[in-house]
Structure formats: C-alpha cells, structure tokens
C-alpha cells in the first residue's frame, strides 16, 4: 500500500492514453492488427507493474547479465534472423508466429547497463574510463548497424551520448570526440547500404524521385496536409485506407493519424508526449541515487529521440530511417520495450532511497 501511495500517475496515465490512442488509430484501417496491438499492450502492462515494483538496485546487480543478453540476442539475429524489408532484425519466438525485434529490447537492456557503469567505481569521467565505456557500447552498436538498422543505431547512440553528459563527462573531451567523429564520417558514409545512402540524399530533395525514393516522404506530406484542422474523420483517411501511404501502421502512423484527426489530434499527441517527457525529467531531478538518475535520463533520451526522429521523418524534416512512434506505432517489440523503460522509471519513484 505504501508503494501505491507513491505511485507516479504523471507517467502512467499518459502512457495508457498513448497506447489506447495508437490502438484506435490502427483500428481505423486494420481491426485485426489493432486487436494484436491491444494484446501486446496488456502484456506490456503486466511487465510494467512487475518492473515498477521491483527494487531498483536489482537492475544494477543484474546489469552484467543484461549486457550478455543484449549481445547474445543481437548476435543470434545475424544468424537466425528473419529477412523483412531488406533487413534482418527479428528472431522467431516459436509462439504462434510471434517474433522479437532484438534491437528494441537491446535499448532497454543497454540503458540499464550504461546506468550501472556510469554510477560504478569504474567511471571517473576521464579519458581512460571513457575508453572503457566505448569498449562496452561499440559491440552492440555495430551489431545493430549490421542488421542493418540505421535508425535504432542513432537512437542507441543518442542514449549513450546523453547519459555520458549526465554522468559528468568533461565538455572538452566531448568536443574532441565530436571532432574525431567528423573526421571518420566519410568512412561511415561508405559503410552505409546503398538504400540508406539514397534515403539520406532523397531527404534533401524528395521531389526529384516522386515515384521512387521520395515516395514515402511525399505521400506522408499529402496525408498530413489533407487532414487540415479537424481531420477527415475516424476511418476516413484515404491515404492510409487506399494504401497510398506506406507503413501507415508503424513508421508513418503520425501521418495517418494527422489525416484522420487533423491538427487538433497532432496537437493533443504533442502535448501528451511533452508532458510525459517533462515528467521524466522531474523524476530525474528528484532521484537520489546516481543509478536512478541515469536510468531516468536514458529513458528520456530513448523516447525523445524516437519521438523527434519519427515526427521529423513524417514531416520531411528528417531522413526516413524506420523509427516507430513510441507507444503508438504497431509492433509488439517497440511497445513492450517502451513500457518496460517507463516501468523502470516508475521503480525509481517507488523505491527512492534517502
């Protein structure tokens, strides 16, 4: 009962709203997929409460196992993964055809691992400890990049960078690291797959190839624009229902909901996400232990980066990278992972140490 009195509704209620709204948007074009998403949502909620009522210190204790699990899953994906949309990101779970996108679960596991490392005696905020951290984060980043999954690679990199700053790493070292990254960027460019380079160049001029590489961005803009202020109405989105808008259930679900719910729906989603993100930052500020603070910061970075990239991609302000909109896009792996991360934040509230 004491834990229930400390329960933070400022995270829980927005999470429930976003999951429900996502199911509703999916239902407007595919009731069967919406039912599946609802089942994943319920399963995620069970895990949410399990994680929330688990002592936060246990996550730190099991962080070495989490790191081993992340590497094992990502490595297994390269060998037994299922090919879809030109990438190998999913492994079969042999549960009625259910698959797991390992890079999604890896985000949760790595947030715990990084929080444990940055709050340990091995982290001194100097170059030596930075190199140790770089040694830890490089294998999972490369394994995700090789799938290939550029979007999730960027998200994991964003998580690492913000947690690095939050751990007290000196700014001058970050500047040196940034300059080094600029120097190796030509190598990274040539290591991208051909379609990934095409997506980045198409972002600059989508109208140059409206029926090819620029098709996704142009159709997304049409869908968003056609929604106007109040939208076309529930189930009346022609771009999604007639399949002009690709990936309208996941990557471009923001465009689909914009067409049906208009600017009013967009504004509502932005308010709810902003409220939830600010709430996580407030809990970060209130957390007592460094490990708890870093967990909150890592979850904030994950949700914010995916939110910003997905909406930027839908608006044509960012390259198409295949990033889902947290809690709203279809996909069990993404939904359950985000709920797990929010459960960890809730755990820092329920088990705060003074």
d(CA 41, CA 20): 9
> Quick one: pLDDT at residue 190?
58
> Quick one: pLDDT at residue 200?
58
Q: How far is CA 302 from the centre of its chain?
A: 5
d(CA 225, CA 231): 9
> Quick one: pLDDT at residue 235?
80
Cβ atoms of 322 and 24 within 8 Å: the answer is no
Q: What residues contact residue 200 under an 8 Å CB cut-off, 6+ apart?
A: 192, 319
Cβ atoms of 258 and 231 within 8 Å: the answer is yes
d(CA 238, CA 225): 12
d(CA 327, CA 80): 27
State how far the alpha carbon of 119 is from the alpha carbons of 54, 57, 140, 170, in Å: 19, 12, 20, 16
Q: SS3 for 334?
A: helix
- Could you count the other beta carbons within 10 Å of the beta carbon of residue 303? 21
Contacts 24+ apart (CB under 8 A), 28-34: 28/234, 28/235, 28/237, 28/240, 28/241, 28/256, 28/260, 29/235, 29/237, 29/240, 29/241, 29/248, 29/249, 29/256, 30/249, 33/249, 33/330
> Quick one: pLDDT at residue 322?
79
d(CA 329, CA 36): 12
- Which residues of the chain have a pLDDT value below 70? 1-4, 85-86, 94-96, 184-214, 242, 353-354
User: Where exactly are the structural domains of the chain?
Assistant: 2-350
Beta bridge pairs of residue 14:
none
d(CA 197, CA 191): 9
> Quick one: pLDDT at residue 183?
73
H-helix or E-strand spanning residue 287: none
Furthest CA-CA distance within the chain: 61
């Amino acid at each position: 009962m004491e834990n229930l009195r400390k329960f933070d509704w400022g995270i829980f209620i927005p999470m429930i709203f976003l999951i429900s709204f996502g199911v509703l948007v999916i239902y407007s074009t595919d009731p069967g997929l919406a039912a599946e998403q609802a089942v994943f949502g319920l399963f995620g909620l069970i895990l949410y409460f399990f994680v929330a009522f688990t002592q936060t210190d246990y996550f730190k204790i099991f962080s070495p196992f989490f790191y081993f699990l992340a590497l094992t899953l990502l490595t297994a994906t390269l060998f037994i993964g299922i090919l879809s949309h030109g990438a190998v990101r999913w492994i079969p779970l042999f549960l009625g055809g259910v698959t797991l996108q390992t890079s999604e679960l890896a985000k949760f596991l790595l947030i715990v691992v990084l929080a444990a490392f940055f709050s340990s005696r091995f982290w001194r905020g100097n170059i030596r400890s930075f190199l140790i951290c770089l040694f830890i984060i490089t294998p999972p980043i490369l394994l995700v990049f090789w799938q290939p999954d550029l979007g999730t690679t960027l998200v994991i990199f964003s998580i690492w960078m913000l947690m690095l700053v939050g751990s007290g790493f000196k700014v001058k070292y970050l500047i040196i690291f940034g300059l080094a990254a600029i120097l190796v960027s030509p190598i990274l460019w040539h290591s991208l797959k051909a379609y990934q380079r095409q997506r980045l160049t198409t972002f600059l001029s989508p109208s140059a190839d409206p029926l090819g590489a620029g098709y996704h961005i142009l159709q997304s803009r049409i869908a968003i624009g056609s929604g106007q202020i109040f939208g076309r109405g529930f189930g009346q989105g022609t771009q999604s229902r007639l399949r002009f808008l690709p990936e309208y259930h996941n990557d471009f679900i923001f465009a689909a909901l914009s067409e049906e719910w208009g600017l009013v729906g967009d504004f509502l989603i932005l308010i709810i996400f902003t409220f939830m993100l600010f709430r996580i930052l407030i809990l970060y500020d209130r957390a007592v232990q460094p490990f708890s603070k870093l967990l909150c910061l890592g979850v904030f970075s994950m949700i914010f980066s995916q939110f910003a990239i997905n909406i930027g991609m839908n608006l044509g302000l960012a390259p198409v990278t295949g990033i889902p909109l947290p809690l709203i896009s279809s996909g069990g792996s993404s939904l359950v992972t985000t709920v797990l991360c929010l459960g960890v934040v809730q755990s820092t509230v329920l088990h705060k140490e003074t």
